[in-house]
Structure formats: C-alpha cells, structure tokens
Amino acid sequence: MQSVAPPPKLPVIAMDEKPGGRMHLRMKQLFYTAITVFLTAWFCTMGVIPAILALVVAKHVLVAILAMGIEAERSATRPA
C-alpha cells in the first residue's frame, strides 16, 4: 500500500488573535457597517430629502470602511 505524506507545512488556523489583529479589524468593520445601514434606514423613514442625504452620506462612509480594510490588507502583506 502507498502511504501519503503529510503536507510540508500545516495550514494556519486563526484560533488566537492578537489585539489589533485582522479579526479585530473585521469585527470593527462589520459593526461600523451595521450602524451605518441602520442609521441610513432610520433617516429614510423621515422623508425624501433626509433619505437622499442619508444615502449619499452612507455611500461615502461605506466606501471609507472598505478602504480602511483594503489599506490594512495592503500593510499586512508588505514585507517589513
């Protein structure tokens, strides 16, 4: 019978995350996104003009949250 050798390096599983790590950032992004969506929905119940303004502001806030995550990814992959 042939035997299969284990992989040369075991995969890394994020069991313990340091404070300020990637999981912490993702949780903050999720929280900020949820708050933004809920506030936008609340402003949309107030009428047409507040809804339009809330959607415009929410678009910019959500793009900023996305950019925050992309910048963190970029800095994490750069060699030190």
The confidence score (pLDDT) of residue 23 equals: 78
Q: How many distinct structural domains can be found in the chain?
A: 1
Burial of residue 50 (number of CB atoms within 10 Å: 0-12, 13-18, 19+): middle
26: in domain: yes
31: in domain: yes
47: in domain: yes
Contacts of 55 (CB under 8 A, 6+ apart): 40, 44
Expressed as residue numbers, the domain containing 51 is 22-75
User: What element of type H or E holds 28?
Assistant: helix 22-44
> In which residue are the tokens 């993702």 written?
26
What mean pLDDT value characterizes the chain?
A: 82
pLDDT, one tens digit per residue, over 8-32 is 776 565 555 565 567 788 888 999 9
- What is the SS3 assignment for 8? coil
53: in domain: yes
55: in domain: yes
